[in-house]
């Protein structure tokens, strides 16, 4: 699966981008919209292994440097995507890369935590995510999922702490930025929330909820003379 992920991500860096060029990155049939608050994390990676890629040697997807390079290039493309279809393809590639830490064990812990969260077993999910961040402290998506779980449990203080950890690791994690804006807004920090939304939209202009919240807040904040 990892080799196919790299092939698909690299394909997105070539222009033009067409949906049929990246079949591995189609949205899952059971995809659900994000809830208000911390945006719902991307779907967990599949655990089964696919057939090995034949032909030219593929980059090492387990390499943090390789993953960082791919993400950097995809973020650049996302900020200037010419249309929604292209942006969606790039977002799917980015969100799949987020799921891979370089540690199969940490990845499995996060996948199982996601399943536990869906099953409303928050205690188990938290134990699994705690283990994932302890094993792999730089696993951005593990922190993001834990922030989401804290949000579901109405523990906004810990959710904010984990979101800030996500953004320390990846300042362009647009879901964390949008989630930070949502939480700050609930806490009454309108100016800070506006800044978070604007940061999210600078990375990814294709966030309709963030756009709506940004536009509404901009009027309120400017009206207050801040």
pLDDT at 222: 80
Distance separating alpha carbons of residues 61 and 67, to the nearest angstrom: 6
DSSP 25: G
Looking at residues 43-49, what average pLDDT do you find? 41
**Domain containing 127: what range?**
103-155
- Taking residue 142's Cβ as centre, other Cβ atoms within 10 Å add up to 32
Q: For the chain, what is the domain count?
A: 3
Distance separating alpha carbons of residues 153 and 146, to the nearest angstrom: 11
- For residue range 10-32, list pLDDT tens digits in order: 455 544 433 333 333 333 333 33
- For residue range 185-225, list pLDDT tens digits in order: 999 999 999 999 999 999 999 999 999 999 999 999 887 55
95 and 182 co-located in one domain: no
- For residue range 97-150, list pLDDT tens digits in order: 999 998 999 999 999 999 999 999 999 999 999 999 999 999 999 999 999 999
11 and 64 co-located in one domain: yes
Q: Is residue 50 part of a domain?
A: no
69 and 8 co-located in one domain: yes
pLDDT at 37: 53
Q: Is residue 45 part of a domain?
A: no
Q: Is residue 49 part of a domain?
A: no
Q: Write down which residue in 100, 117, 132 finishes a domain.
A: 100
95 and 123 co-located in one domain: no
pLDDT at 39: 60
Preceding omega of 19 cis (within 30 degrees of 0): no
The answer to whether 177 and 196 are in contact (CB under 8 A) is yes
Of residues 38 and 26, the one with the higher pLDDT is 38
Q: Is residue 163 part of a domain?
A: no
1 and 83 co-located in one domain: yes
87 and 109 co-located in one domain: no
116 and 135 co-located in one domain: yes
């Amino acid at each position: 699966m990892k080799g196919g992920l790299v092939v698909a991500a690299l394909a997105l860096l070539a222009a033009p981008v067409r949906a049929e060029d990246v079949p591995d990155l189609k949205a899952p049939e059971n995809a659900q919209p994000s809830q208000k608050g911390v945006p719902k994390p991307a779907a967990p990676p599949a655990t089964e292994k696919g057939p090995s890629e034949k032909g030219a040697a593929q980059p090492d997807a387990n390499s943090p440097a390789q993953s960082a390079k791919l993400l950097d290039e995809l973020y650049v493309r996302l900020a200037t995507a010419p249309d929604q279809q292209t942006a969606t393809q790039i977002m799917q590639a980015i969100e799949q890369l987020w799921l891979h830490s370089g540690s199969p064990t940490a990845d499995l812990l996060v996948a199982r935590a996601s399943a536990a969260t869906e099953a409303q077993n928050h205690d188990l999910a938290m134990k699994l995510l705690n283990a994932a961040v302890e094993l792999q402290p730089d696993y951005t998506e593990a922190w993001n999922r834990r922030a989401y779980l804290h949000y579901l449990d109405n523990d906004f203080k810990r959710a904010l702490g984990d979101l800030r950890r996500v953004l320390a690791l990846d300042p362009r994690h647009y879901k964390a930025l949008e989630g930070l804006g949502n939480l700050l807004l609930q806490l009454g920090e309108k100016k800070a929330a506006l800044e978070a939304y604007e940061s999210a939209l600078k990375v990814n202009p294709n966030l309709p909820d963030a756009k709506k919240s940004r536009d509404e807040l901009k009027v309120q904040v400017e009206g207050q003379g801040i």
